[in-house]
Amino acid sequence: MAYHANGQLMDAKVSAVKQKAYLKSGGTKCPNCGSASISAGSSEADGTSAFQDVVCLDCGSTWTEEYKLARFGDLKVPTHN
Ligand SMILES: [Zn+2]
């Protein structure tokens, strides 16, 4: 698997197979080389989505994990006496 220096171009060409494999691994393996030596960086939320930068410590690839709002839980409504 070739390493592309231009991460932006590579990002648009990520195959559905790689997407599935990444989800199946729970986001624990590099989409490029399969290494488990990955490190999550900063994250930011944007409305119903959240994004987190991830870097592979073995091949140097970087990518962004995307999270979608799924549900809410643990609602606590204050009681007014
Ligand atoms: Zn890698």
Residue list, CB under 5 A from ion ligand 1: 30, 32-33, 35, 56, 58-59, 61
Distance from the CA of 46 to the center of ligand 1, in angstroms?
A: 27
With H, G, I as helix, E, B as strand and everything else as coil, classify residue 81.
coil
Asked whether the predicted pLDDT for residue 6 surpasses 70, the reply is no
Query: Model-level pTM?
Result: 0.70
Distance from the CA of 9 to the center of ligand 1, in angstroms?
A: 17
Distance from the CA of 3 to the center of ligand 1, in angstroms?
A: 9
20-50 residue pLDDT tens: 999 999 999 999 999 999 999 999 999 999 9
CA 58, chain centre distance (Å):
17
CB 42 within 8 A of CB 52: yes
Higher pLDDT, 28 or 8: 28
Q: Which two tokens stand for residue 75?
A: 């609602």
